[in-house]
Amino acid sequence: MNKIAFVFPGQGSQAVGMGKELAEKHSEVMDYFRRANEKLNIPLSKLIFEGPKEELTITFNTQPALLTTSIAILDYFQKSGIKADYVAGHSLGEYTALVAAGTLSFEEGVYAVRKRGEFMENAVPNGEGSMAAVLGLDRDRLFAVTNEVSESGNPVSLANLNCPGQIVISGSKKGVEIAGAKAKEAGAKRALPLDVSGPFHSALMKPAADQLREVLDGIEVKDASVPIVANVTAEPITSATEIKDKLIEQLYSPVLWEDSVRKMIELGVDTFIEIGPGKVLSGLIKKIDKTVTTFSVSDEESAQTVIDALKEERI
């Protein structure tokens, strides 16, 4: 039997109105939004369903909003009986994957990512850090560029290794600018500054990681019921202790998304189901390997499409 992976999106996939249609039709879906409101003591569902967009895109709002929406959609989708052999998530999406694997309770997951967002937002003074997407340069050459720039006193590093020819760099504002220019000299097609509030997945996030450890030490983290392929190592893990360590490292380490997808394929996964708003991960997965099947589930219609397609395959 071929294997299935559920994958969960990170920041950038959020949209005002995500999950709204499903929540209005199904009380059990709406229940997740209510529980998130209660846990955080804020009207998160109103922000998700109505905006404004500027407020939804603030890191400490985006993170619990995406986790809540993705888990609510997952709960609806799983009533079909389709199960995952592996789970993975991109950056913030890793927390959604952990809730899906029973490692964190939904409430603890929402709380943890709200705090994670606050710590990330406050780790570096506004305007001092940035990120950029570098297109068309392989990782070894880009790594050499970021190393050279960092050694000159302007910290910058690889942050998201998304797919061949698409790598995000992160660090000090000056470091990212210099590395972007040097990457183009080295053959990159473009270096596009990203609209983010900080230098995520870089060494500048270490203060946030220390604070996050305190939060994770205060909540129950269980062994995973389904192996989760960790961002930091691109290896499957199930142990609660290892999961907690990797979540802390994840804040200041690169997200090895391409490697994670390749690892799941190596382990027999041929069907990836992206659960949550948008189709960002499905696009990246297709750039990594055209031969695998990808689906995106974000509402009732897309869920039914996937259920029908998989039932046909298994008849």
Domain boundaries of the chain, sorted by first residue: 3-123+204-314, 129-196
Q: Which of these CATH numbers, 1.10.3720.10, 3.40.366.10, 3.40.50.300, 1.10.490.10, describes 3-123+204-314? A: 3.40.366.10
Catalytic residue, chosen from 170, 172, 197, 201, is 201
Nearest CA-CA partner of 220 in 98, 119, 116, 115:
98
- Per residue in 228-245, pLDDT (tens digit) is 999 999 999 999 999 999
Q: Are 258 and 117 in contact (CB under 8 A)?
A: no
Is 91 a known active-site residue?
A: yes
Percent of the chain with pLDDT over 70: 99
Burial tier of 6 (Cβ tally within 10 Å: 0-12, 13-18, 19+): buried
| Phi, psi angles (nearest 5°) of residue 243 | -60, -45
Percent of the chain with pLDDT over 90: 95
Q: Please write the tens of the pLDDT for every residue from 76-116.
A: 999 999 999 999 999 999 999 999 999 999 999 999 999 99
User: Region 280-290: what's the mean pLDDT?
Assistant: 98
Q: What pLDDT, on the 0 to 100 scale, is given for residue 196? A: 83
> Catalytic pick from 13, 45, 70, 91?
91
pLDDT above 80: residue 313: no
Give domain 129-196's CATH number out of 2.40.240.20, 3.30.70.250, 3.40.190.80, 3.30.360.10. 3.30.70.250
Give how far Cα 248 sits from Cα of 98, 210, 311, Å. 14, 8, 39
Digit-coded pLDDT (tens) for 131-141: 999 999 999 99
Q: According to the model, what pLDDT value does residue 315 have?
A: 46
Length reported for the chain? 315
**Does 26 participate in catalysis according to the annotation?**
no
Residues ≥6 apart with Cβ < 8 Å to 217? none
Bridge partners (DSSP) of residue 274 are: 7, 296
